[in-house]
Structures are given as structure tokens and as C-alpha cells.
């Protein structure tokens, strides 16, 4: 359905990012089906694009959307961890922490490799928001395999999870597996609920690390803002309006919500 991989020309992307920044767009998100493979068909790379932005920062911050962990590579992870342009936020979809399930998914990833990637980023920059996707109830997933996933996720330096219950898509290999070894719906729902409970604990833990810290905030609608670390914060009355970008000081309220108080006009 997708055809061969193809990317916009690197110079055009860089030009567009700079133009958006000059037009007062506060944040640009780079998206793609295989984002880490950007430019590969031309012998270029996402790292080279980001390095060009590092050398001459645009007026906006840049965020990466989901990046497949088996395609990311150390060079990309190291760049994000130390960047002054790219937001400290990496979404690396895992899907399962069980090597047996990952093999059935044909993911090309192992739990040990995923742990090594996240540990590398966390050592370089503990502020990076590390997020992942996890799928509950893939065909044939045993209770022991689910526990492997839950144990790995609890042990990793993650800030948030995106949890999905498995649902078959007609015509796929996974749908054929489901015909023979579907996990009962009630069990899938219970596993998804447990993973969402874990997500809540991870998010609360990560939010607490921001208390008293400076932040680069983009104002959203409804009195909210978004930090460079992809945490939503509350803005006090009189804060800059939607679309504004400004430095702030964060404080954790008794209700667990982070509040961002502007600390002056933003300058790159």
C-alpha cells in the first residue's frame, strides 16, 4: 500500500523548518512512516539533517515523532540526548517485552537491545522523555510472556506508555495467528488495564522530576502549555497566549499538576 520509501529533499525540509521558525511557529514535529530512515534512498540521513540544524539553530524547536528502535541507531539517540534544537523526547515503540512475542511479531528487536538503547539515552541525559508503545494480548501471549513485558517496563527509565489492546486486521499474518491462538478478550482487557495503571505511575514519577526546574514552554489553548520534555503544564492567568514560546519555572501543585510561571521573554 505504501510503495517504496521516499523522503522529501533534505534541503527542502531544512528550508521549511527555518521558514516556519521565522514565521513564529514555536515547534515543528518531523513525521514519517520510517522516520529514522529519512533520506536513506539518497544516501542521506535524519542525523545529517538534524546536525545541520544544530550547526545553525532555527527559531523554533524541533520534535521527532515515533522512531522505530531497530532503525534509530546510537548516533540519532546521542544527538537527541545532547541537542539544543531537538526536544528531549523519544518515542520508541517496543510492543512487547517478551522476546518470544517479539519474534512472533517479526519486530527485529529484543528486550536486551531495547534496554541498552534506553539506558544509553538515560545515561547521557536523564531529562529525556522516553516513551514507548506496548500491545496487550498479541495472539498466543501467555501470562508468563505478559509478565516479562510488565517487568521490563517497570525496570526501564520510561516516562510514559501508549497502551493498545490487540485487535486483528483482516489479511495480516497476525490475524491468521489470532484464528488459532487468540487471547480471550477479558484477559486482554485486564492486561491493558494493568499496563495503563503502570503508565499512570510512570507519568507521575516523571512529572515529579520537573518540580522547581526551568522549562521551555509552548502555550496551548485552555490555559495549558507543553514543555520541551512533552509534559503538559498549567499556565497561570496572564500567561502568554496560545502559540507563544517562553522560558518558565515549574512547580508541582498539591493536586499533582505542574504549573509553569513565565520567567521572561523567550530568546533563542
201-210 per-position pLDDT tens digit: 999 999 999 9
Contact partners, residue 163, CB within 8 Å, separation at least 6:
134, 136, 192, 195, 196, 199
What is the pLDDT at residue 267?
Answer: 43
The chain-wide mean pLDDT, for the chain, equals 94
The residue behind cell 522512531 is 67
The pLDDT tens digits for 14-47 are 999 999 999 999 999 999 989 999 998 888 999 9
pTM of the model as a whole: 0.94
Task: Report d(CA 145, CA 135) in Å as an integer.
Answer: 12
Q: What band does 244 get if pLDDT is binned at 50, 70 and 90?
A: very high
Task: Report d(CA 39, CA 10) in Å as an integer.
Answer: 7
Q: What band does 265 get if pLDDT is binned at 50, 70 and 90?
A: low
Task: Report d(CA 133, CA 149) in Å as an integer.
Answer: 12
Cα within 13 Å of Cα(48), Cβ side: 11
pLDDT above 60: residue 100: yes
Q: What is the average pLDDT across 121-135?
A: 97
Q: What band does 1 get if pLDDT is binned at 50, 70 and 90?
A: low
Task: Report d(CA 65, CA 89) in Å as an integer.
Answer: 9
Amino acid at each position: 500500500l505504501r510503495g517504496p520509501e521516499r523522503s522529501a529533499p533534505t534541503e527542502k525540509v531544512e528550508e521549511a523548518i527555518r521558514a516556519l521558525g521565522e514565521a513564529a511557529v514555536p515547534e515543528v514535529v518531523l513525521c514519517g512512516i520510517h522516520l529514522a530512515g529519512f533520506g536513506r534512498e539518497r544516501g542521506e540521513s535524519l542525523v545529517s539533517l538534524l546536525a545541520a540544524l544544530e550547526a545553525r539553530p532555527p527559531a523554533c524547536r524541533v520534535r521527532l515523532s515515533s522512531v522505530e528502535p531497530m532503525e534509530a541507531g546510537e548516533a540519532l539517540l546521542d544527538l537527541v540526548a545532547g541537542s539544543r534544537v531537538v526536544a528531549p523526547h523519544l518515542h520508541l515503540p517496543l510492543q512487547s517485552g517478551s522476546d518470544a512475542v517479539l519474534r512472533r511479531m517479526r519486530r527485529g528487536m529484543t528486550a536486551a537491545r531495547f534496554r541498552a538503547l534506553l539506558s544509553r539515552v538515560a545515561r547521557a541525559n536523564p531529562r529525556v522523555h522516553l516513551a514507548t508503545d506496548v500491545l496487550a494480548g498479541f495472539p498466543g501471549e501467555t501470562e508468563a510472556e505478559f509478565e516479562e513485558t510488565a517487568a521490563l517496563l517497570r525496570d526501564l527509565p520510561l516516562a510514559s506508555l501508549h497502551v493498545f489492546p490487540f485487535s486483528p486486521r483482516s489479511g495480516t499474518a497476525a490475524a491468521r495467528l489470532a484464528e488459532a491462538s487468540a487471547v480471550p478478550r477479558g484477559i486482554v482487557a485486564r492486561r491493558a488495564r494493568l499496563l495503563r495503571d503502570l503508565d499512570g505511575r510512570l507519568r507521575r514519577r516523571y512529572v515529579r522530576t520537573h518540580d522547581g526546574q526551568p522549562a521551555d514552554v509552548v502555550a496551548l489553548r485552555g490555559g495549558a502549555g507543553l514543555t520541551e520534555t512533552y509534559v503538559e503544564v498549567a499556565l497561570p492567568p496572564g500567561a502568554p497566549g496560545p502559540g507563544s514560546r517562553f522560558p518558565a519555572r515549574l512547580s508541582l501543585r498539591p493536586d499533582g499538576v505542574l504549573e509553569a510561571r513565565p520567567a521572561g521573554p523567550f530568546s533563542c
